[in-house]
Structure 1
Amino acid sequence: MRFDIIKCHGSGNDFALIDARGLDLPDTAWADVARALADRAGPVGGDGILLLTDGAGAAAFGMRIFNAYGSEPETCLNGLRCVARAGLEALGLDTATVRLKTSEAEVARDADLAPGVYTVRETAGPATLAVADWPLHGEGEQIVDRPITRLLPTLAFTAVAIPNPHLIAFVDEVDEAELVRIGAICEAAPDWLPNRANVSFVHMRNDREVYVRTFERGVGLTNACGSAMGASIFVAGLTGRLPFDQPITVRNRGGLVRASASADGMVTLSGNATFEWSGSVTVKDGRAHDLIVTERRADEIDAWARI
């Protein structure tokens, strides 16, 4: 099957975006498309695929995401900005409610982070602390700033869902090898964590800036994870490290976003939704073939590179 795609990224979290409105494919087919297009050895590559879907009720349009391994998480806030841009432009809107897998989010065109950087503001939540909903077994009803001995008895975690599950640890220095080790334990879907979880190490640079590094469920180490950044800011407020409702710059391997979180668990991120190129590609027999690029957006690529 041949697809029109837009190669895009939010904070370096890169995807192939497909306008799937009116397309009737089973989830197993979309999972196959995701694995084929996300293959870094193939002609497209990425952390997964994004689908712009039809709206329902108050939602003007919807979003689905299938990651590089073919599974479907609840949301991806970096990907949401890209889908939001596509949906807003397609419908001629400045703001919209977006239907996600298990929730909704509010999106709007925002002031550019930097000249030429198309920027979207997104508000999602509320974040929840009930680990039984994940489920995460054997650690009580909530985990707030305390060790999980099965992961690392000397490191304090906070467990939060937004709505996809995150384990957040504040560290003096990001040890990527340790992050990968812990992320791999969660990725293996042990009996006590059957649906896995995203794991993030957060380093507070000062009271206005933090750095987040994430092992993303279904992806591995990633340049950025939007919901992890939102969860990290909420946990910073929850644990008294930062005040709620204070604008924060969140940096990651892929760039940065502006962020804030409220005491009621709502998080707002404002970040790029960069379209790099448009084209079409065939997916057949589990692989991507015959990519044709019809438009390159060098101005957007250069604008983001300057950040």
Structure 2
Amino acid sequence: MLVRFTKCHGSGNDFPLVDARDWSLSDGEWASLARVLATRDGPVGGDGILALVVGDEAAAFGMRMFNSDGSEAETCLNGLRCVARAGFAAAGVETATVRLKTSHAQVEHVGDLAPGVYTVAETAGPVSLATADWPIIGAPERLIDAVVPGLSSQRAFTAIAIPNPHLVTFVDRIDEAELVAVGEACEAAPAWLPNRANVSFVERRGDTTLFVRTFERGVGLTNSCGSAMAASTYAACLTGRVEFGREITVLNRGGLVRARAEVDAMVTLNGNATWEWDGEVEVDLASERAGEVTVLRRYDDEVAAWRAVTEEARPTAPA
């Protein structure tokens, strides 16, 4: 099949995005397509693949997101902003409800985060603290700043689903080797955590800034994870590190978002949806092989605008 796509990113979380509103792929075929296009040594590369799909009675359009290993995520907030941009253009709107795998989210095209940076506000939630929903076997009903039963780490984590599952811990300084070790333990789907989890180490930098580093389920160590930034913001408010209702800056290796968590367990992120280039490629799903990619268009101005944002944020990010 000939696949046309836009290579895009939200806060450095990069994806090929396809308009699949008239597609009819099976879940297995979607998984194959994700493994072909999103693998880092493949023709395109990314943290996963995004699909603009049809909505429902409550939503103007929908989104599906498959990780680079072929597994489907409940949501991806960095990816949602990119799908929202495509959906706005397709539907001729500037605000919408979006159908996700297990929930809905609100999105709106808002004023630029920085000059030349297309910006979307997205509101997701409500956050769930019920460990039975993951499930986390052997855990109490809620885990808030507590050691996780079954995990070898003695760090205190907060368990949050938004709706995909996150374990968030606050540290003085991020140790990536430790983060990878904890992330890989969760990625292995042990008996006590059958559906795996995203793991984030978070530095609090004053009253209005967090820095988040995430080992993402189905991806690994990533420059950015939107739902992790939302979960970390809510965890910071829940544990008294940040005030509910206050907008903060959340930094990551890919850039930044503005975030706000409310007492009603809803979280809003304002962040970029940046187009990098359009392309097309012939894909054989049965063999999971792809031909040569043809680049159809480049968005150099958008790439440069986001580069300016990351260069401004870089001095505050650890090496």
TM-score under structure 2 length normalisation: 0.95
- In the TM superposition, residue 150 of structure 1 has moved relative to its aligned partner by 3.2
Query: What residue is the counterpart of 1:131 in the other structure?
Result: 131
Query: What residue is the counterpart of 1:170 in the other structure?
Result: 170
Equivalences, count: 307
Query: What residue is the counterpart of 1:302 in the other structure?
Result: 304
Query: What residue is the counterpart of 1:201 in the other structure?
Result: 201
Alignment of 1:38-117 (within 5 A): 38-117=38-117
Query: What residue is the counterpart of 1:25 in the other structure?
Result: 25
Superimposed CA distance per residue, residues 161-198 of structure 1 (whole angstroms, 9 cap, x where no aligned partner): 00000000000000100000000000000000000000
| Higher mean C-alpha displacement, 49-58 vs 285-294 | 285-294
**1:8 equivalenced with 2:8 (yes/no):** yes
Gaps of 5+ in 1: none
Partner Cα separation in structure 1 for residue 6 and residue 153 of structure 2: 44
Q: Which residue identity is paired with 1:289? A: G
Q: Which residue identity is paired with 1:292? A: T
Deviation beyond 3 Å, 4+ runs, structure 1? none
Q: Which residue identity is paired with 1:288? A: A
Contact kept, 8 Å, 1:122 with 1:268, in 2: the verdict is: yes
Q: Which residue identity is paired with 2:223? A: N
Contact kept, 8 Å, 1:116 with 1:299, in 2: the verdict is: yes
Q: Which residue identity is paired with 2:299? A: R
Partner Cα separation in structure 1 for residue 162 and residue 152 of structure 2: 23
Query: What residue is the counterpart of 1:119 in the other structure?
Result: 119
**1:245 equivalenced with 2:245 (yes/no):** yes
- In the TM superposition, residue 289 of structure 1 has moved relative to its aligned partner by 1.3
Partner Cα separation in structure 2 for residue 153 and residue 253 of structure 1: 24
Partner Cα separation in structure 1 for residue 46 and residue 144 of structure 2: 33
Contact kept, 8 Å, 1:275 with 1:300, in 2: the verdict is: yes
- In the TM superposition, residue 154 of structure 1 has moved relative to its aligned partner by 3.0
- In the TM superposition, residue 287 of structure 1 has moved relative to its aligned partner by 2.1
Contact kept, 8 Å, 2:145 with 2:156, in 1: the verdict is: yes
Partner Cα separation in structure 1 for residue 4 and residue 73 of structure 2: 23
Q: Which residue identity is paired with 1:300? A: E
Partner Cα separation in structure 2 for residue 136 and residue 282 of structure 1: 41
Query: What residue is the counterpart of 1:224 in the other structure?
Result: 224
Gaps of 5+ in 2: 310-319
Contact kept, 8 Å, 1:98 with 1:106, in 2: the verdict is: yes
Q: Which residue identity is paired with 2:26? A: P
Secondary structure class of the residue paired with 1:148: coil
Secondary structure class of the residue paired with 1:45: coil
Secondary structure class of the residue paired with 1:206: coil
Partner Cα separation in structure 2 for residue 48 and residue 291 of structure 1: 17
Partner Cα separation in structure 2 for residue 146 and residue 77 of structure 1: 26
- Note closer, same or farther for the CA distance 1:170–1:30 as it changes in structure 2 (3 Å cut): same
Query: What residue is the counterpart of 1:287 in the other structure?
Result: 289
Contact kept, 8 Å, 2:139 with 2:149, in 1: the verdict is: no
Q: Which residue identity is paired with 1:49? A: I
| Higher mean C-alpha displacement, 39-48 vs 157-166 | 39-48
Partner Cα separation in structure 2 for residue 61 and residue 148 of structure 1: 37
Bigger proportion of residues as strand: 1
Partner Cα separation in structure 2 for residue 240 and residue 304 of structure 1: 32
Query: What residue is the counterpart of 1:214 in the other structure?
Result: 214
Partner Cα separation in structure 1 for residue 14 and residue 262 of structure 2: 28
Contact kept, 8 Å, 2:150 with 2:192, in 1: the verdict is: no
Query: What residue is the counterpart of 2:278 in the other structure?
Result: 278
Query: What residue is the counterpart of 1:190 in the other structure?
Result: 190
Contact kept, 8 Å, 2:138 with 2:149, in 1: the verdict is: no
Partner Cα separation in structure 1 for residue 237 and residue 72 of structure 2: 29
- In the TM superposition, residue 288 of structure 1 has moved relative to its aligned partner by 2.2
TM-score under structure 1 length normalisation: 0.99
Partner Cα separation in structure 2 for residue 61 and residue 242 of structure 1: 34
Secondary structure class of the residue paired with 1:147: coil
Secondary structure class of the residue paired with 1:78: helix
- In the TM superposition, residue 149 of structure 1 has moved relative to its aligned partner by 4.9
Alpha-carbon RMSD: 0.8
Contact kept, 8 Å, 2:153 with 2:182, in 1: the verdict is: no
Q: Which residue identity is paired with 1:38? A: A
Contact kept, 8 Å, 1:37 with 1:287, in 2: the verdict is: no
